[in-house]
Amino acid sequence: MTAYGSQPAAPSMATASLRALLQAGPVLGTFQVIGHPSVTEVLARVGVQVIVPDAEHAALDLADLEHLVRAGQAAGAHVVLRLPRADVGLSRALDTGASGVIVPRVESAADAAQIVRYTRFPPVGERGLGAGRATAYALDLATHRSTANDALLVVAMVETRAGLQAVDEIVAVDGIDVIMVGPADLASSLGVDAGGPEHSAAVERVMSAALAAGRTVGIHCASVDDARRYHELGVDFLLIATDVAFLASAASPHFPTQLR
């Protein structure tokens, strides 16, 4: 009889870990707001490497997220979930089999340490094992337990005035793989125009601190041109626009406000 928790899981189509992909070079992705697996599949089929369902802002619950993870993996993409906060919900989200998590509004070393606590197994963190999809519903607990700390991508977003002030302490926390800039929220928090001198200096401050600490840097880009520019500055985790932005930009030329 096969022992409990020792049945090998079928491999995902997205076989290389996302951390391994990032070590090889830049990774391109986008945020997903529309909560349907068909959107995930389309994005994956056109070559999006990382799809990020946005459970911070979109109307997505945990059951929705698991369906999106399943769809992305089946089509060969990695799915990383943006969650609202650093709490036990991070561990539950990783139980879906997601390739990682993004946590917004990280403002201190304590915040970053809390993320590590819920996303890494001991001795790095305190994540618990369960019968979720990531462990093949407890048929292969041992494999996930032994590989997850090295495979899963953990991203901390610095996007507030407080986060900017504490960035040197945040980037020093072990267990965080990527320090990601949220340009729009950073501009909002600072009370300045996006793209202006103060905003640009703040973005560069976060990037330089992360690179100096040996962390991978990520950023949300408005366009592929922005992604190219940031990559030249050392950014390798590049999320371009959103699914709804792509839909709107493709549809808008076909629907003029007036017919002539």
- Residue-wise pLDDT for 179-189, tens only, equals 999 999 999 99
CB atoms within 10 A of CB 150: 10
Q: Is residue 135 scored above 70 in pLDDT? A: yes
pTM of the predicted model, to two decimals? Answer: 0.92
Q: Mind listing the pLDDT tens digit for each residue in 52-90?
A: 999 999 999 999 999 999 999 999 999 999 999 999 999
- Is 36 catalytic? The answer is no
Is residue 193 within 8 Å of residue 218, measured between CB atoms? Answer: no
Packing angle of the helix pair 37-45, 62-74 (nearest 10 deg): 30
Distance of CA 185 to the CA centre of its chain: 16
- For the chain, give the percent of residues with pLDDT over 70: 93
The token pair at 10 is 């079928």
Burial class (CB in 10 A: 0-12, 13-18, 19+), 216: buried
- Residue from 36, 57, 67, 231 carrying the catalytic annotation: 57
What interhelical angle do 197-212 and 183-190 show, nearest 10? 120
Q: Alpha carbon 74 to chain centroid distance?
A: 18
Structure tokens at 71: 């769809």
Residue 123 has pLDDT above 60, yes or no: yes
